[in-house]
Amino acid sequence: MNLLGKLKRAIQPKRKRSHSGHIKGKAVGLDKTAIPKHALTVVKTLHKAGFEAYLVGGCVRDLLLGKTPKDFDVSTDAKPEQIKKLFKTCYLVGRRFRIAHVRFGRSVFEVSTFRANNDAPDNKRERSEHGLVLNDNIYGSVEEDAFRRDFTINAFYYDPHKDNLLDFTGGLQDIKHKTLRMIGDPTERYREDPVRMLRAIRFAAKLGCEIDAQSETPIAKMKSLLEHIAPARLFLEVEKLLHCGHSFEVIEQLQAYGIFEMIFPTVHAHYATEEGAGARELLGYLLKNTDKRIQAGKSTTPAFFLAGLLWFPRQSLLAQFENHPRHIAEDKAAEKAFAGLLKTVSIPKRFTGRAKEIWTLQMPLENRRGKTPYKILNNPRFRAAYDFLLLRAQVDPSLQGLADWWTRFQESSDSKRKSMCDNLRKRQNRKSFQKTGGAGEES
Ligand code: ATP
Ligand code: MG
C-alpha cells in the first residue's frame, strides 16, 4: 500500500463489518489462474490506493462453477470520482448510478461502488406506483452491497490477491446444490425489480440450476409487473437471454410461464394462426442454431433473431400490401411487423434495419436472375441472408435445393460459377424454375 493509501486507511472511520468469514478460494475450487491479468491489476490498483476491492458477481460465480466468465466486474468502497483518478482510461457512465468503466486495450472492466439498499428506510427509496424501485443510489458497505444483489450465487466477493472469498448470503451452499435462490423476500424483490423474474429463468437455464421453490412460486402471480418495465430495459434483457447459450430453453420456459406472450404479444398472436406452426418451428431452429453458435464461441446478432422471430408475421402482412410495388409492400410489411414488437421491446434501429436487409435479400436469393448471384455474393449482408435461407430450409424442405445451390456457388471457382449460372438460365428459360422456385436443382 502506498503512503496515500496508508494515510487514508488511518483516517477512515472503522466500519462495523459483520464478516462472512475468510474462505480460501482454493479450498472451494476457485481457479484464480483463469482471471485475466488486467482484472487483477484493477483490483490491485484500488488496494494500493487504500480501498477495499473485490471481483464480484457473475465472474466469481462462474469461476466457482468451473465456467469461463464473460466479463469481470469489480466492486469497491472507492467513489466513482476516486476510481477515475486511479486509471488512465476510465469513463464514468450511468445517470442514476455512476459506474466506472476501466479500459485496458479491448477489455473493459466495470467498477462499481458498494451500494446499500435492502435495509435503507423506504422513504429514501423512490418507488413507482407499482412498487418498482426508481432510485437505487445509496452508498454502503460490502455486506450491504451483497444483500442488494439478486441471487445468492451472484453475491460473492473475491480478493484474488489474498485468495479470500466472502459469502454473506449462503451462496456457496447454493452453488453446491445448484440452487438459484433470491436474496431476501422473493415477492418483495420481484416487486422492486420485475426483471429479476427474467433473470431467474435465464440463470436457471444457463447454469443448469433449479429455482428454489420460494423464489419460483411468486413468478406466476407477479409476472404482470413486467408490463411496467421500460421497453429499452426489456430489450437489454432479451439480448442477454439470446446470448446466454441456452436461449431455446429460456424461451420455452418463458412460454410455460406465460411471459413470452407479454414480451412478444404480436408474435404470440401469430402463433395461433394457420401459419403459426411454421413460425414456432422456425423460432425453435433459430434458437437452437444460436445456442450452438454461442457455445462454439461464435458471434450472433439480435438482428438475425429479429428476422427469424418476425419472418412469418412479415410474410402474412405482405399479403395486405399486394397492390403495391414489391419493394413498397416489403417496406410496409416490415414496418408493421416491427411496430407490433416495439410497443413492448424497443429495438435499436441498427438491428431492425439489418433484419430488413436480411428479408429483402431472400427474394433475389430465390430468383437468381441475370448477374444477381454475383452481386449478392458481394453484398455485405450476403452471409446473414444465406444463413437465413438455410434456416428457412430447415422448416421448408422444398428450399433445400436452393440452399445447396448457394452453398456450391460460394465454394466454386469462377468458371464453375459461370456454368452454374448458365445452367440456371437455361432452366429459367424453360420456365420450370417458376414452378419449383429453384428447389432441388442441380448445378
Ligand atoms: P452474466 O454472466 O450473464 O453477465 P452476471 O451475474 O454477471 O451474469 P449481470 O447482468 O452482468 O449478470 O449483472 C452483474 C451482477 O449485478 C449480478 O451478478 C448481480 O449480482 C447484480 N445484478 C444485476 N442485475 C441485478 C438486478 N436486477 N437486481 C439485483 N442485482 C442485480
Ligand atoms: Mg455480467
Residue with more model confidence, 273 or 207: 207
> Average pLDDT in the 70-96 region?
94
Among 72-76, 92-96, 327-331, 351-355, whose mean pLDDT is lowest? 92-96
441 has pLDDT over 50? no
Q: Catalytic residue among 62, 150, 212, 291, which?
A: 150
In a domain, residue 235? The reply is: no
C-alpha cell at 409: 456457388
Domain count of the chain?
1
pLDDT at 41: 97
In a domain, residue 317? The reply is: no
C-alpha cell at 300: 450472433
pLDDT at 427: 81
pLDDT at 127: 67
In a domain, residue 66? The reply is: yes
In a domain, residue 35? The reply is: yes
User: Helix, strand, coil proportions of the chain in percent (round to 5)?
Assistant: 60, 10, 30
Ligand 1 contact via 70 beta carbon (within 6 Å): yes
Position 62 confidence tier, pLDDT thresholds 50, 70, 90: very high
pLDDT at 126: 64
pLDDT at 293: 95
Nearest listed ligand to the Cα of residue 243 = 1
Among 12-26, 111-125, 245-259, 300-314, whose mean pLDDT is lowest? 12-26
CATH assignment at residue 94 = 3.30.460.10
Nearest listed ligand to the Cα of residue 240 = 1
Which among 216, 214, 188 has a CA at the least distance from the CA of 200? 216
Q: Looking up cell 412478444, which residue turns up?
A: 264
- Residue numbers of the domain that contains 63: 1-192
In a domain, residue 302? The reply is: no
382 has pLDDT over 50? yes
Phi-psi region of 39 (alpha: psi -120 to 50; beta: other; left: phi over 0): alpha
> Average pLDDT in the 72-77 region?
98
User: Residue 304: how many CA atoms within 13 Å on its side-chain side?
Assistant: 24
Report the distance separating Cα 190 and Cα 65, nearest Å: 26
pLDDT at 18: 43
Active site residue 122: no
CA of 151 to the centre of ligand 2 (A): 13
Ligand 1 contact via 245 beta carbon (within 6 Å): no
Q: What are phi and psi of 23, to 5 degrees?
A: -100, 130
Give me the residues near ligand 2 (ion), CB cutoff below 5 Å.
Answer: 58
